[in-house]
Structure 1
């Protein structure tokens, strides 16, 4: 039976302790060589850790601000993309609408109405866009569906126009449905039935330096409703309204001017969004400058000399290798080898 002395156990424990210490030092040196920063903060600043702690706190705050500003930037970009798509759809109808005359054949009127219906459907889809799980045009929470489907809206709009006989009747009925030129306190069909978002605006995004970016736009805002109403006025002609072809042609002719107004409303929203996006861009630049300054300050306090660190790393690796070699030799010793 092999017998192990207390001295051997102590020697084995000592070798393990040295090996563990060297491995910890090797890991620390690897981090210092990779990050360029000393890992023993207290030793690096001779125990005066308060400045370093202040810098670390500031960097943590800057990172939190950066995350919030990035979220705002994503929201602004997605909103801008949706508005640009909506404007493009309106412009597509407008180009054809400028050539309309009261004597247009039925097939041309049907084609134009169908084109507007497709555009209206696309606009509803644009206004239902989500970014990071949040509906862009749904108000404060923006977590649910923003609008009913285009088919449902146009069907209800057509039903509300029952009895209309002229272009003026159609225009008045559409304006009433979408709440155009009425007291904001009054109820109207679009807000009651079609808008499914929150009645409260999205809160401005906090940019971290006391400034904010107000980029919230709701699908029931006046500009959006005006744009939808003007496109719907043409699109609803694809429904069976029971009006004469002359009334349909007059609606298209007048609608071309309304589409121009609709486009201008979207442009106004883009300008408002652009103001908020500019504030977000300024905040991103500011945060980047502040972070660079703080990191430079931290580096000035905790910088690790790369040459010195690499030299110590090489020495530590050599020491670990030597311990492994020595342990292997000791484990191979026997009585005969010892007596030699």
Structure 2
């Protein structure tokens, strides 16, 4: 039988090539185990990257929608929280004012008026809430504060009362109603500082968007502010020498706030509907993202168990090569001819 022997140079070259190949395999399997992705992606897609590129493009689009959805959710949730605060003040103040007015004593009237003034301050501050650098109730003018301060409003109302020569409860109510509710009145010209243009719509998906149109200029919010402001004027000294007139103003303020309850609840319902749409879009976007990520994984993901097994085999193979090389390097002519 004829035997084929390799010369020393040929054997060394063969060993070098084998070692290089084993090292490359080690790099490949180490990468696949560490990253969970295939080492040679071109081979995995047979040189056609178009399906993978399409999936990645869709994932980037969904990511941008997800950012917009999260922004819309934060905005709507914050607005709902603000309306809950306003609703709480309206419900409590309306009852307290009517009860105090029915009692009619100076102490009850004073306590109720002071409490209403505090709630007025709180409602104005709530409607001036900002999320980051964006005002919630300023419409498109998110960089502006929605309303002038409560103290400024009271000052404007006091000036208007003096200018109108208001001397009766009916006069006061007419002036306050005109300032808050009339077109071109004080609230529209100086009280509300936001934009008449609603906030731009939030994109929720392909051809799907949602718009939050509520601003601090809404009629329901104006009525709420009007009722609390009128009671606040009593706390500021309106009809200070006429208990009956003060009781009448507080009673009418309480009734005005009772009338605003349903309106505030309706605003909460509207914002709640927007929150539901945003949540639906969030779920849908998450589902689509999961589907595309699964499809991408099927293309680029390496089998972790197979990669780990091959890595172990390759490490063993490389260790064997190093061991044999070390033994051969220790051979001498004397060892060979023994």
The equivalent of 1:164 in structure 2 is 166
Name stretches of at least 5 consecutive residues in structure 1 with no aligned partner.
1-9
Name stretches of at least 5 consecutive residues in structure 2 with no aligned partner.
1-12
The equivalent of 1:131 in structure 2 is 131
Matches within 5 A, 1:250-261: 250-261=248-259
| Alpha-carbon distance between aligned partners in 1 of 2:272 and 2:132, rounded to the nearest angstrom | 20
RMSD after superposition: 3.1
**Could you tell me which of 195, 199, 204 is aligned with 2:196?**
199
The equivalent of 2:176 in structure 1 is 174
Matches within 5 A, 1:221-260: 221-242=218-239, 244-260=242-258
**316 and 61 in structure 1: CA distance in 2 versus 1, 3 angstrom threshold:** farther
**312 and 23 in structure 1: CA distance in 2 versus 1, 3 angstrom threshold:** closer
The equivalent of 1:270 in structure 2 is 268
TM-score (norm 1): 0.82
**325 and 194 in structure 1: CA distance in 2 versus 1, 3 angstrom threshold:** farther
| Alpha-carbon distance between aligned partners in 2 of 1:119 and 1:188, rounded to the nearest angstrom | 23
| Alpha-carbon distance between aligned partners in 1 of 2:264 and 2:35, rounded to the nearest angstrom | 54
**116 and 38 in structure 1: CA distance in 2 versus 1, 3 angstrom threshold:** same
Aligned pair 1:29/2:32, yes or no?
Answer: yes
Post-superposition offset of 1:99: 1.8
Q: Residues 101 and 109 of structure 2 are in contact (CA less than 8 Å); yes or no, is this contact kept in structure 1? A: no
Range that drifts further, 72-81 or 87-96: 87-96
| Alpha-carbon distance between aligned partners in 2 of 1:339 and 1:137, rounded to the nearest angstrom | 96
| Alpha-carbon distance between aligned partners in 2 of 1:323 and 1:133, rounded to the nearest angstrom | 64
| Alpha-carbon distance between aligned partners in 1 of 2:318 and 2:259, rounded to the nearest angstrom | 78
Post-superposition offset of 1:307: 1.6
Post-superposition offset of 1:22: 6.5
Q: Residues 201 and 212 of structure 2 are in contact (CA less than 8 Å); yes or no, is this contact kept in structure 1? A: yes
The equivalent of 2:106 in structure 1 is 106
* Per-residue CA distance 1:200-233 (angstroms, 9 max, x = gap): 2101212113122122321112221111111111
The equivalent of 1:3 in structure 2 is none
* Per-residue CA distance 1:21-56 (angstroms, 9 max, x = gap): 5675355223443xxx42432211222222111111
The equivalent of 2:205 in structure 1 is 208
The equivalent of 1:93 in structure 2 is 93
* Per-residue CA distance 1:101-126 (angstroms, 9 max, x = gap): 46612221111111101101110111
Q: Residues 94 and 258 of structure 2 are in contact (CA less than 8 Å); yes or no, is this contact kept in structure 1? A: yes
The equivalent of 2:5 in structure 1 is none
Matches within 5 A, 1:14-163: 21=24, 24-25=27-28, 28-33=31-36, 37-101=37-101, 104-162=104-162, 163=165
**320 and 138 in structure 1: CA distance in 2 versus 1, 3 angstrom threshold:** farther
Q: Residues 29 and 312 of structure 1 are in contact (CA less than 8 Å); yes or no, is this contact kept in structure 2? A: no
Q: Residues 148 and 196 of structure 1 are in contact (CA less than 8 Å); yes or no, is this contact kept in structure 2? A: yes
Q: Residues 94 and 259 of structure 1 are in contact (CA less than 8 Å); yes or no, is this contact kept in structure 2? A: yes
How many corresponding residue pairs? Answer: 317
Post-superposition offset of 1:323: 8.7
**69 and 18 in structure 1: CA distance in 2 versus 1, 3 angstrom threshold:** same
| Alpha-carbon distance between aligned partners in 2 of 1:282 and 1:75, rounded to the nearest angstrom | 16
TM-score (norm 2): 0.82
| Alpha-carbon distance between aligned partners in 2 of 1:148 and 1:320, rounded to the nearest angstrom | 77
Higher alpha-carbon Rg: 2
Post-superposition offset of 1:310: 0.8
